[in-house]
Amino acid sequence: NQSLDQQAGKEKWDLRTLDLGELKKVLVKWQTEIDFNHAWNSLFWENHDIPRVISRWGNDQEYRVQSAKMFA
């Protein structure tokens, strides 16, 4: 199972560029394939164990606020 941001065959921190099409597919899958009669989905971008989405796929220096708003 390949991560959205990990290079195939590489280590966890060998990052690759975000493919927006892949991200959309994952988000749609999370929203459409869950059986809402028996479960609910917790959607989240990040946790304390990994770099924040703004630092990973945004610009946390020059465009921190704009990047945060875009991902929100």
- Residue 1 near residue 9, CB atoms below 8 Å: no
**Tens-level pLDDT at each residue, the chain (72 residues):** 457 888 888 887 788 888 889 988 988 888 888 887 888 877 666 666 666 788 888 899 999 999 888 887
Q: Is 25 helix (H, G, I), strand (E, B) or coil?
A: helix
**CA angle, 23 then 71 then 19, to 5°:** 25
Triad 23, 5, 24: Cα angle to 5°? 0
Check residue 62 and give its pLDDT.
95
